[in-house]
Amino acid sequence: MYEITLNPENYGIEALVEGMGTEKGRFNGDNRKQWAAEVGIFVSRLDDLSAKAKKLQDLLSGNESIKATSGALKTLKVQMFNINDALNASIELSEKLDTEIVQVKS
């Protein structure tokens, strides 16, 4: 058995859950299946991102000639930093979530 122990205050969303109560219950049924499907969409999107990154890596490490203006290269660099920042934030959040979904003895 697992328990999801996330505290809304730790994520700055306490106002969204105000009045929902603190009683624990089982997370079963269609709602759980829907959440699993949504996580599956995340997985698919991450796979797509990985494929695009691999394609860009192959292009940049290849021998094919590439033309670009200085502005285009700077723009690419800035966008890569933006993607990296978003990935870092996502990884930090997923690591935090991972520590708050714990296996418990039933």
**Cα 37 from Cα 48, distance rounded (Å):** 17
Task: Tell me how many degrees the CA angle 74-79-85 measures, rounded to the nearest 5.
Answer: 130
Please state, as a whole number, how many other Cβ atoms lie within 10 Å of the Cβ of residue 57.
Answer: 10
Antiparallel, parallel or unpaired: β 2-4 and 101-103: antiparallel
Q: Which residues pair with 4 in a beta bridge?
A: 101
Residue 64 DSSP one-character state: S
- Please tell me the total count of domains within the chain: 1
Whole-Å CA distances, 5 to 9, 64, 100, 102: 12, 51, 5, 8
* pLDDT value of residue 21: 79
pLDDT mean over 8-16:
91
Is the pLDDT assigned to residue 46 strictly greater than 80?
A: yes
- Tell me which of 18-27, 34-43, 62-71 is least confident: 18-27
Structural domain boundaries enclosing 53: 2-103
pLDDT mean over 29-40:
96
Instruction: List pLDDT tens digits, range 47-77.
Output: 999 999 999 999 999 999 999 999 999 999 9
pLDDT greater at residue 18 or residue 71: 71
